[in-house]
């Protein structure tokens, strides 16, 4: 084969291949699938080495690990955390019932308490210089509601965002907007978008069906949506909302569960059950480029792959290989924005009805069944069972 023909064949093969995952490899083995936050060439995740909780940083290139928390001689349990590459906001559990929100500069080691209130806190997210979380300080015997709070890292002040009946969940922010789930109308959540500067909220895509797992960046909001579920209560689709044009679009409505989306820039990735046989043994990662309006098959190795995050160049996710649960990394051929943050996955594959979180607890739609870790009722984390 001459050089010219070789180049032509190479170009032809490249054009024929979909944008997919190259050079995938195991970063590290973990005790259970929790959640990862990623920034630049670092991933941060929570794990349970030696039956103790630790927040660990791993270099994506060298695989060198660094324990960020706990500090030497300290053994608190960490309920939740958020990370943006420099700022680590977290909820330690040292003395019941004290659940402060604390902050660590991972570069300088500086620390401070962001919110000293004793109320239970969860779903911590850091983005655009803001920290958001769900707070239970206002719960009563009749209404164990969680409200959305925000802390401005530059201004050094906190603020209550919601004052609603019922439960608010899973807030995310890019510093300009906050997206969260509002259960005020009952057992099914509505994705709600809050404008931080204006102090106003809207429901971008009104439906009677459940919505879950919002992700937000710049002009785009994405989430998983159950309006087309019908008799298959686990049939979630991926939807997107353009904040500038106020238009809603369907990114993926294939059979089975598509969920746990992650968005950064124009790259959306999610866990996809379209090829699964119902036992969680063939769960793939798919993606969508909002700039080119095209879906991409991203990771399709054998086994269970879940909770992806991506920067448009590399992708990080949890997956099984044999009996081992691993954290994986690979290259991605679309997108192109800095990676920020990951999803908090269940410790077991979803093989039946979706789990809805209502008033801080897990429930399922009528006629459905939900899988849940027997070890814990809190985010699938082992050992911690107390909550409001």
Is a pLDDT exceeding 50 seen at residue 101?
yes
Instruction: Pull the structure tokens for residue 103.
Output: 């902050």
Instruction: Pull the structure tokens for residue 125.
Output: 């997210």
Residue at token pair 């909770």: 307
Is a pLDDT exceeding 90 seen at residue 180?
yes
Average pLDDT over residues 73-84: 87
pLDDT recorded at residue 197 = 97
Sign of the CA dihedral running 215, 220, 221, 222 = negative
Q: Which residues pair with 202 in a beta bridge?
A: 193
pLDDT recorded at residue 17 = 35
pTM of the model: 0.82
Average pLDDT over residues 287-313: 87
Q: How far is CA 340 from CA 85, 158, 197, 221, in A?
A: 8, 22, 22, 15
CATH number of 20-363: 2.130.10.10
What is the pairing mode between strands 121-127 and 294-299? unpaired
Most confident of 20-29, 207-216, 354-363, 367-376: 207-216
Sequence-ordered list of residues with C-beta below 8 angstroms from that of 107, at least 6 positions apart, any chain? 86
pLDDT recorded at residue 111 = 96
pLDDT digits (tens, 9 = 90+) for 307-348: 998 776 778 999 998 889 999 998 877 765 433 333 333 333
Contacts of 159-168 spanning 24+ positions with Cβ under 8 A: 160/135, 161/132, 161/194, 162/194, 166/359, 167/357, 167/358, 167/359, 167/360, 168/134
Annotated domain spans of the chain? 20-363
In three-state secondary structure terms, 57 is strand
User: Residue 165 — very low, low, confident or very high, per pLDDT cuts 50/70/90?
Assistant: confident
* Mean of all residue pLDDT scores within the chain: 81
Query: From CA 36, how far away is CA 331, in angstroms rounded?
Result: 17
Contacts of 96-100 spanning 24+ positions with Cβ under 8 A: 96/386, 97/386
pLDDT digits (tens, 9 = 90+) for 210-258: 999 999 999 999 999 999 998 888 999 999 999 999 999 999 999 999 9
């Amino acid at each position: 084969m001459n050089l010219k023909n070789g180049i032509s064949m190479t170009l032809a093969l490249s054009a024929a291949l979909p944008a997919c995952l190259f050079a995938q490899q195991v970063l590290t083995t973990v005790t259970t699938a929790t959640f990862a936050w990623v920034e630049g060439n670092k991933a941060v995740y929570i794990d349970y080495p030696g039956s103790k909780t630790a927040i660990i940083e791993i270099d994506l290139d060298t695989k060198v690990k660094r324990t960020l928390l706990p500090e030497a001689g300290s053994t608190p349990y960490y309920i939740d955390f958020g990370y943006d590459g420099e700022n680590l906001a977290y909820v330690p559990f040292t003395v019941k019932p004290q659940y402060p929100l604390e902050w660590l500069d991972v570069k300088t080691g500086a620390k401070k308490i962001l919110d000293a209130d004793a109320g239970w806190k969860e779903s911590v997210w850091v983005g655009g210089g803001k920290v958001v979380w769900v707070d239970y300080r206002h719960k009563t015997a009749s209404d164990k509601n969680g409200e959305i709070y925000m802390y401005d890292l530059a201004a050094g002040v906190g603020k209550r965002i919601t004052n609603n009946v019922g439960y608010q969940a899973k807030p995310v922010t890019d510093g300009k907007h906050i997206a969260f789930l509002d259960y005020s109308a009952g057992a099914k959540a509505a994705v709600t978008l809050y404008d931080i500067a204006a102090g106003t909220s809207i429901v971008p895509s009104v439906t009677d069906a459940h919505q879950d797992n919002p992700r937000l960046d710049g002009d785009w909001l994405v989430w998983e949506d159950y309006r087309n579920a019908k008799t298959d209560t686990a049939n979630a689709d991926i939807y997107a909302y353009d904040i500038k044009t106020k238009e809603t679009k369907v990114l993926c409505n294939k059979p089975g569960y598509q969920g746990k989306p992650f968005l950064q820039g124009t790259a959306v990735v999610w866990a996809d059950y379209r090829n699964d046989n119902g036992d969680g043994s063939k769960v793939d990662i798919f993606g969508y480029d909002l700039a080119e309006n095209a879906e991409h098959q991203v990771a399709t190795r054998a086994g269970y792959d879940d909770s992806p995050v991506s920067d448009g160049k590399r992708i990080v996710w949890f997956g099984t290989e044999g009996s081992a649960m691993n954290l994986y990394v690979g290259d991605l051929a679309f997108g192109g924005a800095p990676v920020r943050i990951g999803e908090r996955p269940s410790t077991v594959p979803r093989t039946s009805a979706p789990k809805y979180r209502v008033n801080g607890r897990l429930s399922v739609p009528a006629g459905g069944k939900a899988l849940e870790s027997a070890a814990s009722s809190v985010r699938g984390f082992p050992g911690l069972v107390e909550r409001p």
